[in-house]
C-alpha cells in the first residue's frame, strides 16, 4: 500500500488476480456438479427436440420426430463437458458479477455506485430472460422447422448432437444480447446520444430490420413462426422508446 493507505497499482493487480481465480473456481465447481447430473441436465437441453415439449403442445404443433446422431468418437464426451461448463458459468454468474462489481465499486462515487447496481442487476435479469425466451420459444420453433425440413423424401435428415448444442448455445447468447436493447437504449439516452423522437420516427425502419433479423435467426418460410420470433424483439424496441422518453423528459 502507498503512504496514504490507498492501494498501489500492483495491489490492484493482486486483488484482480484473486477475484479472477475465485470466478474460475466457482465456474469449475458448478460445472463439475452439472457434469455429474448428466441425466437431469440433458433432459432439459434435449427437451425441445421432442414434439411433447410444452411449447409445441401450447401451439398445437403436429407430432414430429427428430433423431440426433453422434458422428465422432469423442463427440458426446466433449459435448457433455461443454454443456456442463456452460451450465456452471451460468449458475455461478451471480457470484462472478458480484466479484467484478466489488472490484470496480471502490473507484465509483456513491451515486455512480447506486446507478451501477441498478444497471448491472437489470442487464443480468434481461439477459436471463432472453435465454429463457430462446429456450422456450425461439429455439424449439427453429429446431422443429429445420429438423423436419426436407428438399426431397429421398434425403434423410441426420441432425448431429454437436450441431444441435452449438445452435442452442449460439441462439441463447444472441437472444441474451438482444434483450439488452432496453438497457443499452437507456444508457445512450442518459448520455444524450439517443432520443425517443428519433426512435419513433424510424419505427418503420426498425420493424423491417427486426423482421430481417428474425428471418436470419429462424430461416423459416412459416409466417406465423416469423411473427412469433419478431414479436419479442419488437416489444423490446417499444419498451426502449418508453425508457428513453422517461429519461429525456
pLDDT at 83 over 90: yes
Q: Residue 4 pLDDT more than 60?
A: no
Question: What is the percent of the chain where pLDDT is above 90?
Answer: 48
pLDDT in tens, 191-237: 888 888 889 999 999 999 988 888 877 766 667 778 878 888 899 99
Cell 412459416 appears where? Answer: 222
Q: What percent of the chain has pLDDT over 70?
A: 94
Position 3 scores a pLDDT of: 46
DSSP string, 6-67: ---HHHHHHHHHHHHHHHHHHHHHHHHHHHTTHHHHHHHHTGGGSTTSHHHHHHTPPP----
Distance, in Å, from the CA atom of 243 to the CA atom of 196, rounded to the nearest integer, reads 8
pLDDT of residue 70: 92
Asked if 172 and 135 touch (Cβ cutoff 8 Å), the reply is yes
CA distance 223 to 229: 10
Mean pLDDT computed over 157-176 = 91
C-alpha angle with apex 69: 65 to 70, nearest 5 degrees?
Answer: 165
Query: What pLDDT does residue 88 have?
Result: 96
pLDDT digits (tens, 9 = 90+) for 35-77: 999 999 999 999 999 999 999 999 888 898 888 999 889 999 9
SS3 69: strand
- Among 21-30, 35-44, 141-150, 162-171, whose mean pLDDT is lowest? 141-150
User: Residue 2 — pLDDT band, cuts 50, 70, 90?
Assistant: very low
Q: Which three cell numbers stand for residue 59?
A: 401451439
* C-alpha distance from residue 94 to each of 26, 88, 125, 158, 205 (Å): 10, 11, 10, 38, 36
Indicate the average pLDDT of the chain. Answer: 87
Distance CA(214)–CA(101), nearest Å, equals 34
4-18, 19-33, 60-74, 105-119, range with greatest mean pLDDT: 19-33
Residue pLDDT, tens place only, 119-138: 899 999 999 999 999 999 98
Three-state secondary structure call for residue 118: helix
pLDDT in the model for residue 1:
46
104 — pLDDT class (breaks 50, 70, 90): confident
Residue 109 binned pLDDT confidence (cut-offs 50, 70, 90): confident
Q: Are 183 and 124 in contact (CB under 8 A)?
A: no
What is the model's pLDDT at position 219?
Answer: 63
Lowest mean pLDDT of 23-37, 42-56, 150-164, name the range.
150-164
The closest of 75, 74, 95, 83 to 31, measured between CA atoms, is: 83
Q: Answer for the pair 5, 128: CB distance below 8 angstroms, yes or no.
A: no
Q: Is the model more confident about 113 or about 234?
A: 234
Amino acid at each position: 500500500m502507498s503512504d496514504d493507505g490507498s492501494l498501489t497499482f500492483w495491489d490492484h493487480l493482486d486483488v484482480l488476480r484473486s477475484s479472477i481465480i475465485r470466478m474460475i473456481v466457482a465456474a469449475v465447481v458448478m460445472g463439475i456438479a452439472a457434469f455429474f447430473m448428466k441425466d437431469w441436465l440433458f433432459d432439459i437441453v434435449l427437451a425441445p427436440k421432442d414434439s411433447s415439449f410444452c411449447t409445441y403442445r401450447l401451439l398445437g404443433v403436429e407430432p414430429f420426430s427428430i433423431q440426433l446422431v453422434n458422428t465422432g468418437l469423442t463427440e458426446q464426451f466433449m459435448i457433455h463437458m461443454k454443456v456442463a461448463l456452460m451450465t456452471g458459468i451460468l449458475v455461478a454468474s451471480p457470484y462472478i458479477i458480484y466479484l467484478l462489481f466489488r472490484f470496480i465499486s471502490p473507484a465509483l462515487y456513491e451515486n455512480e455506485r447506486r446507478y451501477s447496481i441498478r444497471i448491472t442487476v437489470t442487464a443480468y435479469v434481461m439477459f436471463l430472460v432472453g435465454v429463457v425466451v430462446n429456450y422456450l420459444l425461439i429455439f424449439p420453433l427453429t429446431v422443429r422447422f429445420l429438423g423436419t425440413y426436407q428438399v426431397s423424401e429421398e434425403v434423410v435428415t441426420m441432425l448431429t448432437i454437436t450441431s444441435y448444442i452449438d445452435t442452442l448455445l449460439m441462439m441463447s447468447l444472441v437472444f441474451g444480447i438482444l434483450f439488452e436493447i432496453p438497457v443499452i437504449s437507456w444508457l445512450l439516452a442518459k448520455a444524450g446520444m439517443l432520443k425517443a423522437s428519433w426512435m419513433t420516427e424510424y419505427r418503420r425502419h426498425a420493424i423491417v430490420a427486426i423482421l430481417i433479423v428474425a428471418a436470419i435467426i429462424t430461416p423459416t418460410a412459416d409466417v406465423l413462426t416469423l411473427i412469433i420470433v419478431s414479436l419479442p424483439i419488437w416489444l423490446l424496441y417499444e419498451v426502449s422508446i418508453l425508457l428513453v422518453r422517461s429519461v429525456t423528459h
